[in-house]
């Protein structure tokens, strides 16, 4: 009888352990907060890629609280604070201002950034070695800036005064402009830098830049990306070509760019999130990941309008105007 009782107890313990394992790995659900700074093509694609990757990995075990700040930093802060109050399992910070807000809001909830150019600059980390540490990691949309600058000499070598425009509120935009400026000046170009504070003074700054320069460069700046039509409305009639930091901006008024896939970038971020949520990776040890490939792309309609000949090696952006 004692032997039978022992066997029954042992069996119950095994079943209990199995039940605990099922609860830990099979029945757990996750809530992920997504905050995107504002709507535009590149950020939308990154968000979609992130969600698709997590759905593929976790299926219906993950639910999303998705919010768009509409370019309003007060709204951004409110959204992030609500995620912290709700104690979500992970936060996706889509764009630099959201990453900065989340970084200051919580030191415990895992935060993954995407569509962020340079994490050391964004988070004011001196001697950044590629890993943020703590509760932050993510993916970068940084394209090789020397190759961005080289597009000027490849496509418009006769343009010698280059205007570089960005929103002063975006630290990563300044970083890109500073780097591209160095490469342009090394190539013998004269550079003029123009900054604006928000969309309200963007038109005046763009008009001034167009009147003083032969060509323009705009980085992956969220404000410019959202209001690219403002720049296009003054640059194209004046036949001043614009080279942009990413494909969505180029399709809205640029002639060419060195492009990444923001969907793929978001997807890679989602794969990182799945590993963190499933306990397969420690976010504190995850280095920032970068886009695996870059493609030279051009806006066929605008290049034809401005009489710019595109050499081999460039791919036409698929747009309605093409």
pLDDT tens string for the chain (322 positions)? 444 444 444 444 444 444 443 334 468 999 999 999 999 889 999 999 999 999 999 999 999 999 999 999 999 999 999 999 999 999 999 999 999 999 999 999 999 999 999 999 999 999 999 999 999 999 999 989 999 999 999 999 999 999 999 999 888 999 999 999 999 999 999 999 999 998 899 999 999 999 999 999 999 998 999 999 999 999 999 999 999 999 999 999 999 999 899 999 999 999 999 999 999 999 999 999 998 889 999 999 999 999 999 999 999 997 644 4
Residues 187 and 80 in one domain: no
pLDDT at position 26: 64
Are 124 and 249 in the same domain?
Answer: no
Q: How far from the centroid of its chain's Cα atoms is residue 243's Cα?
A: 18
Task: Assess if residue 200 is contained within a domain.
Answer: yes
Q: What pLDDT, on a 0 to 100 scale, did the predictor assign at position 1? A: 45
pLDDT score, position 199: 87
Average pLDDT score over the chain:
91
113 and 229 assigned to the same domain: no
30-36 β-sheet, strand order: 62-68, 30-36, 90-94, 111-116, 136-140, 289-290
Separation CA 242–CA 37 (nearest Å): 24
Task: Tell whether 82 and 34 lie within a shared domain.
Answer: yes
The tokens 């919010």 sit on which residue?
Answer: 67
Residues 241 and 304 occupy one common structural domain = yes
Q: Would residue 150 count as lying in a domain? A: yes
Q: Which two tokens stand for residue 122?
A: 């964004």
- Position 1 in a domain: no
Residue 300 forms part of a structural domain = yes
Outline where the chain has alpha helix (H). 2-21, 41-58, 73-85, 96-105, 119-122, 145-155, 171-186, 199-212, 222-226, 228-235, 247-251, 262-277, 300-306
**Do residue 102 and residue 86 come from a single domain?**
yes
Residue 125 lies inside a defined structural domain of this protein: yes
Query: Per the domain annotation, does 322 fall within a domain?
Result: no
For residue 312, what are its two tokens? 């081999």
CA count, 13 A, side-chain hemisphere, 268 = 22
Q: How many distinct structural domains can be found in the chain? A: 2
pLDDT digits (tens, 9 = 90+) for 310-320: 999 999 997 64
State whether 271 and 252 are in the same domain.
no
Task: Give the CATH number of the domain where residue 218 resides.
Answer: 3.40.50.2300
Domain assignment present for 310: yes
pLDDT of residue 178: 96
pLDDT at 168: 94
Reduced to 3 states (helix: H, G, I; strand: E, B; else coil), residue 128 is coil
265 and 234 assigned to the same domain: no
Q: Which domain holds residue 265?
A: 29-141+261-290
Are 87 and 206 contained in the same domain? Answer: no
The torsion angles phi and psi of 318, rounded to 5 degrees, stand at -80, 110
Note whether residue 16 is domain-resident.
Answer: no
Residues 132 and 194 in one domain: no
Q: Let me know whether 100 and 128 are in one domain.
A: yes
Please indicate, yes or no, whether residues 213 and 308 belong to a single structural domain of this protein: yes
Q: pLDDT, tens digit, for every residue of 88-102?
A: 999 999 999 999 999
Q: What is the pTM of this model?
A: 0.80
């Amino acid at each position: 009888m004692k032997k039978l009782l022992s066997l029954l107890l042992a069996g119950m313990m095994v079943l209990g352990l199995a039940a605990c394992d099922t609860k830990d790995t099979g029945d757990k659900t996750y809530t992920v907060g997504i905050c995107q700074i504002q709507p535009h093509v590149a950020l939308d694609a990154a968000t979609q890629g992130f969600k698709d990757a997590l759905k593929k990995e976790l299926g219906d075990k993950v639910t999303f609280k998705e919010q768009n700040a509409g370019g309003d930093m007060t709204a951004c802060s409110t959204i992030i604070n609500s995620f912290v109050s709700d104690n979500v399992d992970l936060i996706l910070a889509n764009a630099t201002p959201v990453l900065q807000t989340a970084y200051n809001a919580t030191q415990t909830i895992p935060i993954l950034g995407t569509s962020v150019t340079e994490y050391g600059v964004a988070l004011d980390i001196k001697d950044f070695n590629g890993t943020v540490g703590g509760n932050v990691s993510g993916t970068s949309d940084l394209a090789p800036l020397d190759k961005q600058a080289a597009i000027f000499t490849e496509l418009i070598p006769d343009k010698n005064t280059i205007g570089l425009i960005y929103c002063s509120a975006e630290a990563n935009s300044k970083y890109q402009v500073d780097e591209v400026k160095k490469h342009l000046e090394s190539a013998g170009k004269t550079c003029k830098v123009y900054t604006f504070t928000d969309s309200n003074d963007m038109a005046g700054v763009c008009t001034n830049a167009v009147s003083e320069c032969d060509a323009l460069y705009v980085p992956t700046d969220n404000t410019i990306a959202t209001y690219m039509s403002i720049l296009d409305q003054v640059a194209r009639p004046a036949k001043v070509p614009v080279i942009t930091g990413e494909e969505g901006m180029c399709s809205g008024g640029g002639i060419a760019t060195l492009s990444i896939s923001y969907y793929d970038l978001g997807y890679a971020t989602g794969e990182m999130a799945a590993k963190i949520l499933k306990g397969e990776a420690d976010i504190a040890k995850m280095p920032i990941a970068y886009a695996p490939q870059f493609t030279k792309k051009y806006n066929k309609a605008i290049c034809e309008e401005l009489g710019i000949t595109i050499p081999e090696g460039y791919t036409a952006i698929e747009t309605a105007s093409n």
